[in-house]
Structure 1
Amino acid sequence: MPDLAPLRPGDPRRVREYRLTGRLGEGGQGTVYLGVSPTGTRVAVKLLRPDLARDSEARERFVREVSTARRVAPFCTAAVIGTGIDRRRPYIVSEYIEGPTLEAVVASEGPRGGPALHRLAIGTVTALVAIHQAGIAHRDFKPSNVLLAPDGPRVIDFGIAKALDRTSTLTATTIGTPSYMTPEQLAGEDAGAPADMFAWGAAMVFAATGRPPFGADSLPAIFNRIVNLEPDLRGIADPALRDLIGQCLAKDAARRPTAGEALLRLLGHAGGAPGAVTPAAPRGILAEGSAAASSHAVREPPAYPAPAGTSAKDRGGLRAAIGGGLVVTLVAVGGLTLALRGPAPEVIGPGRASGPRDVTAPPPSGSAVTPAPAVSGPPPASRTIRLPGSSITIHESDDDPIRLSSYSLDGDAHLYVREPGTSRFTKDDRYFQYTVNPSGSHALGTERTYDRSGHAVVAVVDRRSGTVSRIRVAEDPVYPTLPQWSPDGGKGLVTLYEIVGKARRESRAYGYAVIDVATKKARVVRVKEKDAGTWSYFWRGDGRAVGTWALTGETQRIRFYDLGGTVLQTLLDVGAPITVEGDDVSPSGSMLMTYCKGTNQEICIWSTSADGEAKARIPFKTERLVGWYDDRHIAGWRRSGTGYEAVVIDFRGQVKRVLATSADPAEYDRQFTRYTRELR
């Protein structure tokens, strides 16, 4: 980072929970400050200019765009810690990197050469591999966005240019630094990963010679050279590096190597010339990089009113497996061991995979994580169980990835809980709702009354010993409902409502509470946004954020908050909310479901990472879903004769299995089933 300068009059002293201590730099996008987190960790806080996002929706879209950068493996980048909006200005919090920029080092010490230049090339192109594998293009790669940290080069500010392009009055041609722009950008075309490789080549020329390849004089002259002239590469002594950089600076984007191809060539693998077959860098590098980085680096208690929430939420998770191809070699890059494979392996989601789920990184968008191909449909039911006190019969198999763990009747007036390891359900009216963790060892239960001190209580139940830990969550008139476990099972989440009116018969949205099961403490978050919280909160697939519906008139969106209440991400282009008894987010953490826009006859599947077209439209008429069965199937209730049945369906709407039947339609309207996803 540049030298620290003192704060100026008019500079903020805080951005959300971060205390600002000085200025690290200022540019066209905004100002970068040195910040200190509540735990004392130093961070870099970039506060964007207020005019770069036109309105509240544009600001939320900017935050959503930039938040995708948190998917990037941090081993060669400055990890993005969080994003949000503070006093109507978007901000980005990232890891603070000790070290000057490449631009400053070349200016003060002169060009790089020999092994130093080669190490710089490998480190920076590895960062681009990680960025591109996360589905992001940098679009403003340049020497001032490369920090030379003691442990190697780090790339910063990735993904900001695209976010600005989508949320400000700037255009794709004006976002970027002139000497490092591409012919296609100057022609008004979109800048993707190939543009990053062009900019990388130009930055390596600067590192080797002290000047950009197309000059730094007038804009017309620079642009003319970029479009019409070839760069002078004679200052690069290494012939192989010179040839690679020359190909990266090709006018035709299609002729440029990918970041993965460039990395393999820098590591001594042949290929990349026209007509040659070059093995692609493994898509698994991102997951391996993340793993490597994480290894281092007195009154009668009043009763609550009927719960106001409309849907129970459970948990999601992420588990990726690397498969296919033969291992070619193992190489070390900046302390990271990469398995280079050929042909390039695929990253697959779990289907009904066994074992614990990896939730160390947010789920990639689009096709970066895709469900595992199902080798067969859901297993046939091997037993039926008639549930006590009801007309419900469940049909289950030991091979089901989900298992009914509790159900309630008469609008949560009566609760039945499954006894551990059995098919028996017993009545337990101590709690409104009750949800079991994936291992089956513990459960969260929302108690029906405030305690004698006036606090609402969430119980953590040890299902093996019967021990109950009672955690105070909020004071009367606020109460919790709809408990659920985080993907890793370390935290609980409850939606909070506030009792209003003298009769204490009505409730309004209040916020949520995150329960740390280890410390037996709850953190209450009051959500300020008035359009959020009517529908209950649910975990994002990575366990680092919680989401809820934000509804205003005809506008509907899903907003994600961090565990302290900062807005991180907003999905603007989704359909209408639908009641879900269990998982809103898929087991892989990469998908969620709503009604399709303008209809309640279809269920749409969306990426949890970014806006876009629906990944699937499932023809299925329902008023309530059970949740996700696995990454290839959902489960929902539908009419059947004079009653209802819960069925497992695939993404084409084909029924694969009956999970449950409910013979009494009047009972159905006030029943609620809670399925737990089991670790297998």
Structure 2
Amino acid sequence: MKTLPLLVGLAVLGIAAPSAAASRLDDPVDIEIPHVGVTLHEQPGDPKRVAAFATDKPYLRDKDADTFTAKKGFVELIPAPKGGRAVGLSTTYAGNRDSVIVIGPGPRQSVRIKTVKQPLVTDAPYWTRDGGKVVVTIQRKSGKKWLAQGFVTVDVRARKARTVTVPGVAKDAYFEWSPDGRSLVSSYKDGVRFYRPNGQVERTFTGIGALAGGEDAFSPSGKQLVTYCPARYDEDLCLWDASSGKLGKRVNVQVNRSWGWWDEDHLLAVVKQGGAYQVVALDLQGQTTQVLADITAASWKKNEPYLVYTPS
């Protein structure tokens, strides 16, 4: 939902981490983020690391550092998978239009790309794996709810946006890219639907549950798709063949949130641990193999912080 301050700014607030962290590049590092209630646990060789996070405002990781900077004027900020850029959604309209703002690759570079007209808004940016395009979901407010209307694809290099209204789209849908960047994917009723960039339906997997959260519901190879299991199963997470929609495995785990994939053989999830929460890497049997972050109970209750993991 948009608020309307006078100016979209890039004013920042530095969030410092322990000064010794940057000097211990070959050792495990614990990064406590002050005043946020989150402590990251990073190890050499990790396939991903936290490039941004969001609490009451979005934060970006500083280049080659273990510090994060808050970015004012944005409701969301998501770094590109290959680094160098981040895409943000503004808290304001430019004239009567919503915007996608691309930050980088230079430290002071930003480009505003206008999208839908007021009162429509855009939400939930997702990058293609090559970092060349972004998709955002179009929403219209109805009463107290925001309902999906379609999507906008943004060619970052060409600085062009294409708006596509999708008839019959699930009202709670969010669009992301297929692994090859040629199709858009969203939850649809009790399953998942694939769309061409013009909004035409390619295919639908019925009865497989809603797409899991995180930056990518597809495994690094693109061969597996993770969903929240449909109601007929007791497990929380299900893996499916991304080409056929055939069930591959039900992961015996109960999670608070699923954030996609850690690597081809592990999932990212938030689980409750005692009175607090942890971000963990789970093997495909549902066992925790690595604790990636600790989140205090107070932090989770207040803001449900979202950590954006991108390839290291």
Flag whether TM exceeds 0.5 (same fold): yes
State the alpha-carbon separation in 1 of the partners of residues 82 and 133 from structure 2. 14
- Deviation of 1:573 after TM superposition, in Å, equals 3.7
The answer to whether the 8 Å contact 2:187/2:211 transfers is: no
Matched residue of 2:181: which SS?
coil
The answer to whether the 8 Å contact 1:434/1:446 transfers is: yes
The answer to whether the 8 Å contact 1:587/1:630 transfers is: yes
What is the correspondence of 1:115-134 to structure 2 with a 5 Å cutoff?
Answer: none
State the alpha-carbon separation in 2 of the partners of residues 669 and 593 from structure 1. 28
What is the correspondence of 1:495-506 to structure 2 with a 5 Å cutoff?
Answer: 495-501=137-143, 505-506=144-145
Partner of 2:20: none
Question: Are 2:118 and 1:476 aligned?
Answer: yes
| 2:149 paired residue among 510, 514, 521 | 510
Q: Deviations over 1:451-498 (max 9, x none)?
A: 1x1110110111433200000011111111111211221111111111
Partner of 2:257: 624
What is the correspondence of 1:362-511 to structure 2 with a 5 Å cutoff?
Answer: 382-409=28-55, 413-451=56-94, 453-501=95-143, 505-511=144-150
What is the correspondence of 1:83-98 to structure 2 with a 5 Å cutoff?
Answer: none
What is the correspondence of 1:559-638 to structure 2 with a 5 Å cutoff?
Answer: 559-574=193-208, 576-577=209-210, 579-597=212-230, 598-599=232-233, 601-612=235-246, 614-638=247-271
RMSD of aligned alpha carbons: 2.0
1:390 partner amino acid: V
Distance 1:630 1:668, change over 3 A: farther
Higher normalized strand content (fraction of residues): 2
- Indicate the structure whose relative CO is greater, using CA pairs within 8 Å and at least 6 residues apart: 2
- Deviation of 1:582 after TM superposition, in Å, equals 2.6
Higher normalized helix content (fraction of residues): 1
- Deviation of 1:388 after TM superposition, in Å, equals 3.3
The answer to whether the 8 Å contact 1:404/1:673 transfers is: no
The answer to whether the 8 Å contact 1:578/1:624 transfers is: no
Matched residue of 1:667: which SS?
helix
State the alpha-carbon separation in 2 of the partners of residues 648 and 433 from structure 1. 24
2:119 partner amino acid: P
Q: Deviations over 1:120-176 (max 9, x none)?
A: xxxxxxxxxxxxxxxxxxxxxxxxxxxxxxxxxxxxxxxxxxxxxxxxxxxxxxxxx
Distance 1:461 1:408, change over 3 A: same
Matched residue of 1:625: which SS?
strand
State the alpha-carbon separation in 1 of the partners of residues 266 and 250 from structure 2. 12
State the alpha-carbon separation in 1 of the partners of residues 46 and 301 from structure 2. 23
- Deviation of 1:625 after TM superposition, in Å, equals 1.1
The answer to whether the 8 Å contact 2:281/2:288 transfers is: yes
Structure 1 unaligned segments of length 5 or more: list them: 1-301, 305-379
| 2:188 paired residue among 550, 574, 579 | 550
Partner of 1:539: 177
The answer to whether the 8 Å contact 1:391/1:662 transfers is: yes
The answer to whether the 8 Å contact 2:28/2:42 transfers is: yes
Partner of 2:11: none
Distance 1:561 1:623, change over 3 A: same
Structure 2 unaligned segments of length 5 or more: list them: 5-25
State the alpha-carbon separation in 2 of the partners of residues 447 and 600 from structure 1. 40
Distance 1:467 1:456, change over 3 A: same
The answer to whether the 8 Å contact 2:36/2:299 transfers is: no
Runs (4+) off by over 6 Å: none
Distance 1:495 1:527, change over 3 A: same
What is the correspondence of 1:629-668 to structure 2 with a 5 Å cutoff?
Answer: 629-665=262-298, 667-668=300-301
State the alpha-carbon separation in 2 of the partners of residues 592 and 585 from structure 1. 5
The answer to whether the 8 Å contact 1:402/1:675 transfers is: no
- Deviation of 1:446 after TM superposition, in Å, equals 0.7
Q: Deviations over 1:8-63 (max 9, x none)?
A: xxxxxxxxxxxxxxxxxxxxxxxxxxxxxxxxxxxxxxxxxxxxxxxxxxxxxxxx
* Percent of paired sites with the same residue: 27
- Deviation of 1:397 after TM superposition, in Å, equals 2.2
State the alpha-carbon separation in 2 of the partners of residues 527 and 381 from structure 1. 49
